[in-house]
């Protein structure tokens, strides 16, 4: 017998659960299909830091999101502001002005309201001290457009959302793989799924697809991203194999966005092939702006300091993917070791350490030691030491005269002990998705809305191209998940 629900959500991460919560608030029945078993639930959201980028006009706005800021934090921190105009500028700048303006409008204009909505439901946030702010002159200053993260990071976000879902009587089926949409000329009416190994139809008034991209599908990565991408390590869920995209396209949905593009970072060389629930996002390595990156040939290949890492870590990951063996080392000296993020201090981290550069060179397996030493000598000689180093701002402390200069945060690599961290390509999510409108309704190949079909999260096509501003992934999932949930519930109620 077929199961029936008013709104069926396919997926179990941030976007899917926000959609479920938004739909349920309208009084309709909601069911969630999570392909993973319960102990692996949460999709890619579980492997994030829990960072959310949103527009705010100053500390008064921020207090609506983090009302429990202490007086000491208020007095000793410059939180600044991040206006909607700045968010628009960053989004369009890093996507080479390709981002769909209608979708960008929804994302930016609704970002603050959506974070406040989640806060009103019970989510808690904390400032990202130590990751987005450094103490200079006795005061913290935030930079890069991201100020807060969810308490407990990605795992905390997922656990909190599932508790909210349970409290509202939303049913969740685990080990539930959606196979195809139940669709005809009048629209989408449900999903055929395999739940605990048994295939059955689930009828619904509307379907929301929020089950991720195809980053965990090696064959699709090689097909759409190109040769070598089948070798990349997957930072997140092993269940994001493109099922939702395939189902929707089979039903006539129009593919949209950057299908040859993805979110990718530099991660620990010895990270597992898929995300590790124990460590979450701890295999990423994002302190490269304070050091230098060298490839297997011992040469630099990326301007480590051309912008804040929240705007460059995807480009850094893409550059790393093009290097021999997809291998590089992040190199730091004693002057900046105290600035390295927490993930560099894990017991399981892969690193080499030496008191001399020569000793370091001999320990960097797979790297040409002579060329590495020559690269460091050339780099050190080019550093503008007359400019002050400031980790909180683009300080203009650069190199001059190199074929590839470093634009900011250039310190000489000359004070031991030295540390080097081997990194490789780690893919987070793919940018290719489905064409949707501002109501998260999926459009078909004839530019017509497919009645009863909505999407959110990584499956949204046309928002990110080549790069994205850090913290935009989760807020996009929350914004469009909420939009999809509202629209799906309204559609069901109107029939």
Q: Report, as an integer, the average pLDDT of 7-17.
A: 98
Say yes or no to pLDDT of 130 above 90.
no
Greater pLDDT, 281 or 3: 3
pLDDT digits (tens, 9 = 90+) for 311-352: 898 999 999 999 999 999 999 999 999 999 888 988 889 999
Say yes or no to pLDDT of 156 above 80.
yes
In the prediction, which pLDDT does 309 show?
Answer: 86
Q: Report, as an integer, the average pLDDT of 218-223.
A: 97
Q: Report, as an integer, the average pLDDT of 460-484.
A: 96
pLDDT digits (tens, 9 = 90+) for 263-297: 999 999 998 888 887 766 678 898 999 999 999 99
As a whole number, the mean pLDDT across the chain is 95
Report the DSSP pairing between strands 433-434 and 255-256.
antiparallel
In the prediction, which pLDDT does 280 show?
Answer: 67
In the prediction, which pLDDT does 378 show?
Answer: 98
In the prediction, which pLDDT does 279 show?
Answer: 67
Q: Report, as an integer, the average pLDDT of 137-150.
A: 88
CA–CA–CA angle 34, 195, 154 (5° rounding) = 15
pLDDT digits (tens, 9 = 90+) for 24-38: 999 999 999 999 999
In the prediction, which pLDDT does 1 show?
Answer: 61
Confidence (pTM) = 0.91
């Amino acid at each position: 017998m077929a199961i029936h629900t008013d709104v069926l959500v396919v997926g179990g991460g941030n976007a899917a659960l926000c959609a479920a919560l938004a739909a349920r608030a309208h009084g309709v029945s909601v069911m969630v299909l999570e392909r993973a078993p319960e102990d692996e639930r949460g999709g890619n959201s579980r492997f994030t830091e829990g960072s959310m980028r949103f527009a705010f006009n100053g500390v008064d706005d921020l207090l609506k999101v983090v009302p429990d800021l202490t007086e000491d934090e208020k007095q000793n921190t410059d939180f600044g502001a991040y206006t909607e105009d700045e968010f628009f500028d960053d989004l369009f700048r890093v996507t080479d002005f390709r981002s769909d303006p209608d979708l960008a409008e929804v994302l930016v204009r609704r970002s603050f309201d959506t974070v406040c909505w989640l806060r009103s439901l019970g989510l808690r946030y904390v400032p990202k001290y130590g990751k987005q702010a450094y103490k200079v002159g006795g005061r913290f200053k935030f930079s890069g457009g991201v100020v807060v993260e969810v308490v407990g990071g990605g795992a905390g976000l997922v656990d909190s959302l599932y508790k909210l879902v349970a409290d509202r009587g939303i049913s969740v089926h685990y080990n539930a793989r959606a196979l195809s949409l139940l669709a005809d000329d009048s629209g989408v009416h449900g999903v055929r799924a395999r739940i605990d190994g048994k295939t059955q139809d689930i009828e619904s008034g509307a379907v929301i697809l929020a089950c991720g991209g195809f980053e965990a599908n090696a064959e699709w990565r090689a097909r759409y991203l190109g040769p070598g991408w089948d070798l990349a390590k997957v930072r997140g869920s092993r269940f994001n194999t493109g099922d939702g995209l395939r189902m929707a396209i089979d039903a006539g949905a129009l593919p949209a966005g950057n299908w040859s593009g993805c979110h990718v970072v530099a991660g620990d060389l010895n990270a597992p092939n898929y995300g590790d629930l124990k460590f979450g996002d701890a295999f990423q390595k994002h302190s490269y702006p304070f050091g230098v990156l060298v490839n297997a040939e011992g040469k630099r290949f990326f301007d480590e300091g051309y912008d804040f890492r929240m705007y460059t870590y995807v480009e850094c990951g893409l550059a790393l993917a093009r290097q021999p063996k997809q291998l590089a080392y992040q190199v730091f000296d004693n002057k900046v070791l105290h600035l390295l993020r927490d993930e560099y201090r894990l017991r399981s981290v892969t690193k080499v350490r030496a008191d001399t550069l020569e000793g370091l060179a001999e320990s960097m397996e797979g790297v040409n030691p002579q060329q590495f030493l020559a690269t460091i000598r050339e780099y050190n000689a080019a550093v503008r030491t007359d400019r002050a180093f400031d980790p909180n701002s683009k300080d203009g402390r650069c190199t001059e005269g190199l074929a590839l200069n470093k634009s900011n945060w250039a310190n000489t690599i000359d004070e031991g002990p030295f540390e080097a961290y081997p990194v490789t390509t780690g893919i987070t999510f793919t940018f290719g998705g489905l064409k949707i409108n501002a109501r998260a309704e999926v459009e078909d190949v004839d530019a017509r809305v497919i009645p009863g079909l909505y999407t959110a999260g990584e499956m949204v096509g046309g928002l990110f191209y080549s790069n994205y501003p850090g913290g935009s992934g989760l807020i996009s999932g929350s914004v469009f998940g909420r939009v999809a949930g509202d629209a799906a519930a309204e559609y069901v109620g109107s029939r």
